[in-house]
C-alpha cells in the first residue's frame, strides 16, 4: 500500500485537517507521502515533513499552483497517481474542489467524506445528512478518498522527519485565475478544530447580538458558529455555517443558542461530545439531542451565562 495525501494549506500554513487525514491513512496502512502543491516557498513542506507517520513529502512550487486552483493541481496529481494505491485529501473546500477532478481524470469513482476505515478498500460514510451510515467498498485500482476530519484524531504535528523531494510541477492550463480572497479574520480558534463551539441561530435576531455569544466564547476559548438561517439573514459570514451543507464540527462542548435543531443543522454537530441547547421553545427539536437543555429567553440566559463564568 502507498498513499499520497494532498496537503490543505493557504501557501503559508498547513491546515490542521491534513493531520486527521494522515491518521485515516495510517489506519489503511503502508507508506504515506504528502503532496504540497502551491507557492509556499517550502514552509508548508517543512511542517508536512514533521508530521509523525509520513515518510516522504513531495513539493510542487509554482505560481500556477497557488490558491489550490483545481484545474492546475488535478493534472499534477493525476501524473503522480500510478505510483499509489490511494489518493487522499481532507474533505475541506479545497479537497472537495480538487479531488473529484482528479478522480474523473483517472476514470475512478471517489469515496467522499469517510468517517471510518474498515479496510484498505472499504469505508464508512454518512448519507442523508448523517441519518444513515453506508459502508462502501471500492473496486477501483486507485482509491480516491476524502476524509471528514472530525471523525479521526489529529496525527502528531511533530516527531516525523520525512524526506522532502521536489515533484515536477505542471504548467498553468489557463482556465482559471485567482483574483482575491475575503477571509474572516478572528482571534478565536478555528471552528472545525475548536474544543468548544457556541453557535447562534435565527433567534439571535441580528448580527450585533452575536457580540453576546462572542463574550461567552472568549471566556471559554470557544469558536463561534451559526445556523444557515443566521447566515442567510446576514448576521454572520458564510464560513460560520454549521451543518450538512456547511461545516461539520465535533467539539467537546457545543452550545446551540436560538437554534431550532433542523436535521440539516444537526448533521453538522450531533457528534459533539456534550451538547447544550438554549431555546425559549421547550418543544424545539434541538432538545432531543441536547445533554443539557435550558428553556429560557436567550437575551436573559446568555448574559447571565457570561457573568456566571466569571
Ligand X SMILES: Cc1cc2nc3c(=O)[nH]c(=O)nc-3n(C[C@H](O)[C@H](O)[C@H](O)COP(=O)(O)OP(=O)(O)OC[C@H]3O[C@@H](n4cnc5c(N)ncnc54)[C@H](O)[C@@H]3O)c2cc1C
Query: Taking CA 234 as the corner, what is the angle to CA 229 and CA 236, rounded to the nearest 5 degrees?
Result: 90
| Binding of other proteins by 63 (CB under 8 A) | no
Chain centroid to CA 135: how far?
A: 21
The stretch near other proteins (CB under 8 A) out of 22-30, 39-47, 163-171, 275-283 is 275-283
Which residues lie near ligand X (CB under 6 A)?
A: 127, 201-203, 227-230, 241-246, 258-260, 262, 264-265, 268, 279-281, 284, 297-299
Taking a C-beta distance cutoff of 8 angstroms, is the pair 80, 4 a contact? yes
Cα(104)–Cα(279) distance, integer angstroms:
45
What does 2 interact with, of ligand X, other proteins, none (CB < 5 to 8 A by kind)? none
Q: For cell 460514510, name the residue.
A: 125
| Shortest reach from residue 32's CB to ligand X, in Å | 27
| Shortest reach from residue 269's CB to ligand X, in Å | 9
Q: Which is nearer to ligand X, 169 or 201 (CB)?
A: 201
| Binding of other proteins by 248 (CB under 8 A) | no
In 3-state terms, what secondary structure has residue 86? strand
| Shortest reach from residue 294's CB to ligand X, in Å | 9
| Binding of other proteins by 112 (CB under 8 A) | yes
| Shortest reach from residue 61's CB to ligand X, in Å | 31
B/e letters for 288-299, b = 16+ CB within 10 Å, e = fewer, are ebbeebbeeebe
What does 281 interact with, of ligand X, other proteins, none (CB < 5 to 8 A by kind)? ligand X
| Binding of other proteins by 10 (CB under 8 A) | yes
Q: In whole angstroms, how far apart are CA 151 and each of 19, 21, 159, 174, 297? A: 12, 10, 23, 37, 34
Considering all CA atoms of the chain, what is the largest pairwise distance in Å, rounded to the nearest integer?
60
Q: Which is nearer to other proteins, 49 or 191 (CB)?
A: 191
- One of 38, 126, 160, 268 touching other proteins (CB under 8 A): 126
What does 203 interact with, of other proteins, ligand X, none (CB < 5 to 8 A by kind)? ligand X
Q: Which is nearer to other proteins, 27 or 93 (CB)?
A: 93
Query: Taking CA 144 as the corner, what is the angle to CA 139 and CA 147, rounded to the nearest 5 degrees?
Result: 120
Cα(176)–Cα(182) distance, integer angstroms:
18
| Binding of other proteins by 287 (CB under 8 A) | yes
| Binding of other proteins by 305 (CB under 8 A) | yes
Phi, psi dihedrals of residue 227, rounded to the nearest 5°: -85, 165
Amino acid at each position: 500500500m502507498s498513499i499520497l495525501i494532498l496537503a490543505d494549506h493557504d501557501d503559508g500554513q498547513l491546515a490542521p485537517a491534513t493531520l486527521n487525514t494522515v491518521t485515516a491513512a495510517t489506519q489503511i496502512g503502508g507508506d504515506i507521502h504528502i503532496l504540497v502543491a502551491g507557492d509556499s516557498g517550502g514552509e508548508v513542506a517543512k511542517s508536512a515533513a514533521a508530521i509523525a507517520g509520513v515518510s516522504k513529502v513531495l513539493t510542487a512550487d509554482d505560481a500556477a499552483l497557488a490558491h489550490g486552483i483545481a484545474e492546475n493541481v488535478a493534472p499534477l496529481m493525476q501524473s503522480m497517481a500510478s505510483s499509489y494505491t490511494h489518493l487522499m485529501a481532507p474533505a475541506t473546500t479545497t479537497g472537495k474542489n480538487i479531488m473529484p477532478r482528479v478522480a474523473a481524470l483517472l476514470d475512478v469513482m471517489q469515496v467522499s467524506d469517510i468517517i471510518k476505515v474498515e479496510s484498505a478498500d472499504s469505508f464508512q460514510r454518512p448519507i442523508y445528512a448523517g441519518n444513515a451510515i453506508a459502508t462502501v467498498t471500492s473496486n477501483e485500482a486507485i482509491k480516491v478518498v476524502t476524509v471528514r476530519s472530525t471523525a479521526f484524531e489529529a496525527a502528531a504535528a511533530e516527531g516525523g522527519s520525512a524526506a522532502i523531494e521536489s515533484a515536477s510541477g505542471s504548467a498553468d492550463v489557463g482556465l482559471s485565475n485567482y483574483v482575491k480572497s475575503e477571509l474572516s479574520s478572528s482571534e478565536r480558534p478555528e471552528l472545525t478544530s475548536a474544543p468548544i463551539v457556541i453557535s447562534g441561530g435565527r433567534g439571535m435576531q441580528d448580527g450585533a447580538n452575536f457580540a453576546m455569544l462572542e463574550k461567552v466564547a472568549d471566556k471559554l476559548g470557544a469558536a463561534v458558529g451559526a445556523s444557515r438561517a443566521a447566515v442567510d439573514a446576514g448576521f454572520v459570514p458564510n464560513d460560520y455555517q454549521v451543518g450538512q451543507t456547511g461545516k461539520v464540527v465535533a467539539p467537546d462542548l457545543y452550545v446551540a443558542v436560538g437554534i431550532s435543531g433542523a436535521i440539516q443543522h444537526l448533521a453538522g454537530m450531533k457528534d459533539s461530545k456534550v451538547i447544550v441547547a438554549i431555546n425559549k421553545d421547550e418543544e424545539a427539536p434541538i432538545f432531543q439531542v441536547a445533554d443539557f437543555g435550558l428553556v429560557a429567553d436567550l437575551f436573559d440566559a446568555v448574559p447571565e451565562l457570561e457573568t456566571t463564568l466569571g
